Amino acid sequence: MAKKFYVTTPIYYPNDKLHIGHAYTTILADYISRYKKMQGYETMFVTGADEHGQKIQEKAIKSNEEPINFVSKMSKSFQKLWTELGIENDIFLRTTNKLHIKYVQDSFSNLMEEGFIYKSKYTGLYCKSDEAFYTESQLKNGKCPDCGKEVVNVSEDSYFLKISQFKEWIKKELSTTNLLIPEYRVKELINNFINELQDLSITRTSFDWGIQIKEDEKHVIYVWLDALQNYITALKMPESKFTIDEVWNKNSDVELLQLVGKEIIRFHCIYWPIVLKIKGFRMPKILAHGWLVNKEGEKMSKSKGDVINPIDIINLYGRDSLRFYLINNISTGEDGKFSEGLLIETINGILVNKYSNLVARTDSMIRKYNDGIVPFKKINIEHYEEIKNDLYKIRDSYEQHMNNYEFSHSTKDIIKYTELINGLIDKTEPWKKEGEELNSILNILINEIYNITILLSPILIDTSKNVFNWLDTNQDVLFENIGKDFKGTKLNNIKHLFNRLEIK
């Protein structure tokens, strides 16, 4: 039976258009999901829209629209963006979906029956932008420590989830398992949030755009408790490939990865595991990535007016270039920059110089020396024998980096591999060779381009298709096919994969 892999992104707030920061999270999820497919896994990839809450309701009112019409329109635009970026998600979960709503309501009732919920009054600080509660000491200069915006005083009746009793448990879970990666984020989470862990206010009464609880119609469920459960309810959708039990039961052997930006670790690594624990479910594995930041090193965001629309970038440079840049140039886990200048440097320095040129040089040699037909390999080529071991090692290192979700390291392996093959052309100087020696070198080049393209295929989704078409192969793109021989194929025509660009 095929191994199974379940991957999720946060579900995005449809209060505004998505920008390149959101695209980053989703592209990483798409990369790992496609990689796992290539490794023979059956995969399921969930993304979606977090459609309830005060922020969304206020935005809809401002736009003179009913909230449901407003979020429907926005969510449609999200789905369109994902299609344009080549994202292969299986489910797009909207929290206004009936199945989701029912599950969240029932889940509230169950928690209530089991004694995990009590009614009281919440008096404290709230950041509407992050939909998050804060204590006085958590503020930074009197403002929200995460987004820097004003917080408001809230005082209203609320139901509370008894999470403070799990303080020691969650501390231990975080410190002794790999619930949160990278590991260095654990300490700051414990210091900033867990040491002061209080019961969580899980209903609001001052607005009504949310999931009403059955027990008390004035209350809607706190948007984070609503949204987090999407990772469960996605599995209730008719298109779901896996079942809730399969993924979330304690003995599940489905590999699971949840990607989040670093500012929402708190919700995913405290509240979410505690909810799962209460439900008797397994623990998640959360991979926290950094932000795309502006020149000042601040998170790129709509409110600062410095966001970049991914559609503008892919219209100019193509989606493969953007996907490659974000995976390769932002160290997974750390903050990173994006600018058109940096993107062009990457396109020229790596995609053109190293990959596209290798294909173009090989194509023109095979046309010139062998009428466009891939020759057989008859003899060993000394320079190739010298690097073979290194190539195996790089391939294994790539696999290890991917299995550890070290995405930005994985591309460095592919680059190294490509450099060795370019070096092989320089060392063997095929244009000075003839007969079996020349043919064998050309055959090696084709085989190695095939291997490199397999490694690049979960990132360069269009380019890899071009290259496989050039090689006239419709072999399944599987990791295990690396090293399978090409003989006697007639090359199809191929255009330049990437063109050198001028830095503006």
Binding site for ligand MSP (CB under 6 A): 10-13, 21-22, 24-25, 50, 227-228, 230, 260-261, 263-264, 291-292, 299-300
Both tokens of 149, joined, read 């915006």
Q: What is the dihedral of CA 145, 148, 152, 153, to 10 degrees?
A: 20
* Contacts with 172 (C-beta within 8 Å, 6 or more apart), sequence order: none
CB of residue 131 to ligand MSP, shortest distance in Å: 8
For residue 463, which amino acid is it? Answer: T
Radius of gyration of the chain (CA): 26
- Output 12 or 193, the one with its CB closest to ligand MSP: 12
- Output 326 or 374, the one with its CB closest to ligand MSP: 326
Measured distance CA(282)–CA(179) in Å, rounded: 11
For residue 338, which amino acid is it? Answer: F
Measured distance CA(114)–CA(108) in Å, rounded: 10
Measured distance CA(272)–CA(461) in Å, rounded: 33
* Contacts with 112 (C-beta within 8 Å, 6 or more apart), sequence order: 159, 215
Measured distance CA(386)–CA(404) in Å, rounded: 29
Centre a 10 Å sphere on the Cβ of residue 145 and count the other Cβ atoms it contains.
Answer: 16
User: For residue 141, is it left (φ>0), alpha (ψ between -120 and 50) or beta?
Assistant: left
CB of residue 301 to ligand MSP, shortest distance in Å: 6
- Output 244 or 373, the one with its CB closest to ligand MSP: 244
CB of residue 25 to ligand MSP, shortest distance in Å: 5
- Output 260 or 381, the one with its CB closest to ligand MSP: 260
- Residue 178 has phi, psi (to 5 degrees) of -100, 50
- Output 261 or 284, the one with its CB closest to ligand MSP: 261
- Output 260 or 322, the one with its CB closest to ligand MSP: 260
- Output 310 or 458, the one with its CB closest to ligand MSP: 310
CB of residue 18 to ligand MSP, shortest distance in Å: 7
Measured distance CA(33)–CA(28) in Å, rounded: 9
DSSP annotation of 234:
G
CB of residue 259 to ligand MSP, shortest distance in Å: 7
- Output 190 or 300, the one with its CB closest to ligand MSP: 300
Q: How many CA atoms lie within 13 A of 301 on its CB side?
A: 16
SS3 state of residue 417: helix
CB of residue 487 to ligand MSP, shortest distance in Å: 46
The candidate with the shortest Cα–Cα distance to 446, out of 427, 430, 462, is 430
- Output 23 or 366, the one with its CB closest to ligand MSP: 23
Q: How many residues are listed for the chain in this entry?
A: 504
CB of residue 214 to ligand MSP, shortest distance in Å: 22
- Output 332 or 440, the one with its CB closest to ligand MSP: 332
Residue nearest to ligand MSP (CB): 261
CB of residue 29 to ligand MSP, shortest distance in Å: 10
* Contacts with 31 (C-beta within 8 Å, 6 or more apart), sequence order: 323, 327, 407, 458, 459
- Output 291 or 324, the one with its CB closest to ligand MSP: 291
Go through 385-409 and write b for each residue having 16 or more CB atoms within 10 A of its CB, e for each that does not.
eebeeebeebbebbbebbeebbbbb
- Output 12 or 405, the one with its CB closest to ligand MSP: 12
Measured distance CA(85)–CA(189) in Å, rounded: 33
Centre a 10 Å sphere on the Cβ of residue 195 and count the other Cβ atoms it contains.
Answer: 9
CB of residue 121 to ligand MSP, shortest distance in Å: 26
SS3 state of residue 330: coil
